[in-house]
Amino acid sequence: MHITVIGSGYVGLVTGAGLADLGLTVTCVDKDPEKIGMLQQGSVPIYEPGLEDLVRRNQVSGRLKFSTDLTAAVQSSLVNFIAVGTDAGEDGLPDLSQVLSVADAIADGMDEYKIIVVKSTVPVGTSAQVHQRIRARLKRPREFEVAANPEFLREGAAVEDFFHPNRIVIGTRSDRAAAIMKDLYRPLYLIQTPFVMTTWECAELIKYAANSYLAVKISFINEIANLCDSIGEGADVHAVAHALGLDPRVGSKFLHPGPGFGGYCLPKDTRAFVHIAKKLGEEVKIVEAAVAVNDRQYLRVVQKLRRDLDPLQGKTVAVLGLSFKPKTDDIRESRPIAICQALLQERCALRVFDPAAMERARQVLGSKAVTYCTDAYQAAEAADALIVCTEWNEFRNLDLGRIKESMRGQTLVDAKNILDPRQVAGLGFRYHGIGRS
Ligand SMILES: NC(=O)c1ccc[n+]([C@@H]2O[C@H](COP(=O)([O-])OP(=O)(O)OC[C@H]3O[C@@H](n4cnc5c(N)ncnc54)[C@H](O)[C@@H]3O)[C@@H](O)[C@H]2O)c1
């Protein structure tokens, strides 16, 4: 089976390379010629563990190709995935212009029966809209079908998630499209991945409901952490989260306190969900609350610094971790970046380090008051305070004695609670975690 994946970003590239590895012949298309040029040369423009190997292996086998020519790719493919971005539009609803312009281009290039798969995260009604739009645009009547197939991969574990997903959700209106989609994912079906075959509308809603639920869990535990901070002595959010998670009705996942959720999905999808509900004349108050809690959670980190370093102006702060989570270079809506921006507004000087996201961070933070360091130790040199912002493994086992010696101040904010407070305090630091005294 020939497949085209349109949009070669975090989702499209992993999906395309993964499908090629399952034995399908895949063309990944992107409108960005620089990105496609890099991929054609065998270099992967994003950091995602295991992706480079996966891409190379399938490129060498001839099953994976890269192109900017959407029409040619669509004409050679039975199934065409749309995996382009869906940023927020001016009205708060997702801007569907990229999805719809790809749908138009598919319609213009369609020469025989095709399935168009909407993989981008889109509001309820979009698959129907794509269907109508293609039908209206076709110059000659052609048979085609639309499937909604939302993506649940986690950046940093995207390759692993592609091959071992928790579930595959497919919304269709026809048995034929359902059968072809099942066939496409057959190797995953054979390893007993649950398949949810449903309507367009449910598939679209499932994605927003899933991300909103995760966001609610994070904001919930962050509020508990903030309460623990106010209680002080004796209160520890980890003890509370552990006991909460032992109840299988709650579960232990996503009960990790920190500076709030970031990345390309949870912030934009929760905000979009609030607007989607409003458009339907409804309110999703729990999701609204999760968004409101998250919008101010990162400022807690700045407050903790201020407690020790008032005034912040003129202080030097080392920041370890810039990506929105470990094992990715993605800084979209990254809380560490938001913390850096807040500190820059306070006229702090920053010394930053991230194992993967330095280049992307530089584009956003600039170079005026920011020194980009080669490792955590260099970042700590002569700093008044240090913040661990992202739980990269290499920050879990730092030589904190060495760091302490090279710093000017003693303040350490552990925004992801990955260090041992006693050990850190024992080295002479003033330790501030999130929700543990
Ligand atoms: N990143 C994630 O973890 C994740 C997880 C699940 C779902 N999603 C959803 O998947 C979608 C894609 O997300 P992403 O992170 O891969 O985005 P991305 O920005 O990394 O990639 C999108 C790509 O689409 C390309 N593109 C845009 N318009 C195009 C066009 N007309 N023709 C060809 N290419 C075009 C862009 O150049 C870009 O390379 C979004 O809807 C997102 O919400 C993302």
DSSP 314-383: T-EEEEE--SSSTT----TT-HHHHHHHHHHHTT-EEEEE-SS-HHHHHHHH-SSSEEE-SSHHHHHTT-
Sites in the chain below the pLDDT cut of 70: none
Task: Please report whether residue 204 resides in a domain.
Answer: no
Q: Verify that 283 and 160 share a domain, yes or no.
A: no
Nearest alpha carbon to residue 274 among 266, 131, 377:
266
Most informative mutation of 10, 329, 334 for ligand 1 (most atoms within 8 A of CB): 10
| Cis amide bond preceding 326, omega within 30 | no
Report the pLDDT value the prediction gives residue 25, as an integer from 0 to 100: 98
Structure tokens at 52: 């480079």
Structure tokens at 232: 């002080």
Q: Verify that 272 and 179 share a domain, yes or no.
A: no
Task: Please report whether residue 191 resides in a domain.
Answer: yes
- 83 CB less than 6 Å from ligand 1? yes
Report the pLDDT value the prediction gives residue 92, as an integer from 0 to 100: 87
Report the pLDDT value the prediction gives residue 91, as an integer from 0 to 100: 87
- 264 CB less than 6 Å from ligand 1? yes
303 membership: H or E segment, kind and range: helix 285-309
CATH number at residue 118: 3.40.50.720
Task: Please report whether residue 286 resides in a domain.
Answer: yes
- How many other β-carbons are positioned within 10 Å of the β-carbon of residue 306? 14
Task: Please report whether residue 303 resides in a domain.
Answer: yes
Contact 80, 114 (CB under 8 A): yes
Task: Please report whether residue 325 resides in a domain.
Answer: yes
Q: Verify that 330 and 378 share a domain, yes or no.
A: yes
Q: Which of 173, 198, 223 is the last residue of a domain?
A: 198
Distance CA 407, CA 316 (A): 10
Q: How far is CA 92 from the centre of its chain?
A: 19
Residues 328, 329, 332, 338: is their CA dihedral positive or negative? positive
Task: Please report whether residue 203 resides in a domain.
Answer: no
Distance CA 166, CA 155 (A): 15
Q: Verify that 171 and 253 share a domain, yes or no.
A: no
Report the pLDDT value the prediction gives residue 437, as an integer from 0 to 100: 75
Distance CA 100, CA 201 (A): 17
Q: Verify that 335 and 396 share a domain, yes or no.
A: yes
Q: Verify that 215 and 352 share a domain, yes or no.
A: yes
Catalytic-role residue among 28, 202, 228, 265:
265
- 16 CB less than 6 Å from ligand 1? no
Q: Verify that 192 and 225 share a domain, yes or no.
A: no
- Atom of ligand 1 at shortest range from CA of 94: 41
- Atom of ligand 1 at shortest range from CA of 68: 33
Q: Verify that 411 and 337 share a domain, yes or no.
A: yes
Nearest alpha carbon to residue 130 among 147, 151, 152:
147
Q: Which of 198, 228, 251 is the last residue of a domain?
A: 198
Q: Verify that 336 and 313 share a domain, yes or no.
A: yes
- 333 CB less than 6 Å from ligand 1? no
Distance CA 253, CA 290 (A): 17
Report the pLDDT value the prediction gives residue 403, as an integer from 0 to 100: 98
Task: Please report whether residue 266 resides in a domain.
Answer: yes
pTM for this entry: 0.96
Tell me whether residue 8 is exposed, middle or buried, using C-beta atoms within 10 angstroms of its C-beta: 0 to 12, 13 to 18, 19 or more.
Answer: buried
Distance CA 122, CA 338 (A): 26
- 86 CB less than 6 Å from ligand 1? yes
Most informative mutation of 84, 95, 119, 325 for ligand 1 (most atoms within 8 A of CB): 84
- Atom of ligand 1 at shortest range from CA of 13: 16
Q: Which of 198, 221, 252 is the last residue of a domain?
A: 198
* Domain total in the chain: 2
Nearest alpha carbon to residue 122 among 147, 154, 140, 157:
147
What does the DSSP 8-state code read for residue 262? Answer: -
- Atom of ligand 1 at shortest range from CA of 12: 16
Q: Verify that 114 and 245 share a domain, yes or no.
A: no
The CA-atom distances, in angstroms, between 101 and each of 85, 130, 393 are: 12, 10, 41
Contact 264, 333 (CB under 8 A): yes
Contact 8, 81 (CB under 8 A): no
Report the pLDDT value the prediction gives residue 153, as an integer from 0 to 100: 97
- 331 CB less than 6 Å from ligand 1? no
Task: Please report whether residue 12 resides in a domain.
Answer: yes
Q: Verify that 48 and 159 share a domain, yes or no.
A: yes
Q: Verify that 145 and 286 share a domain, yes or no.
A: no
Q: Residue 247: which domain range? A: 210-432
265 part of the active site: yes
- 6 CB less than 6 Å from ligand 1? yes
Report the pLDDT value the prediction gives residue 77, as an integer from 0 to 100: 97
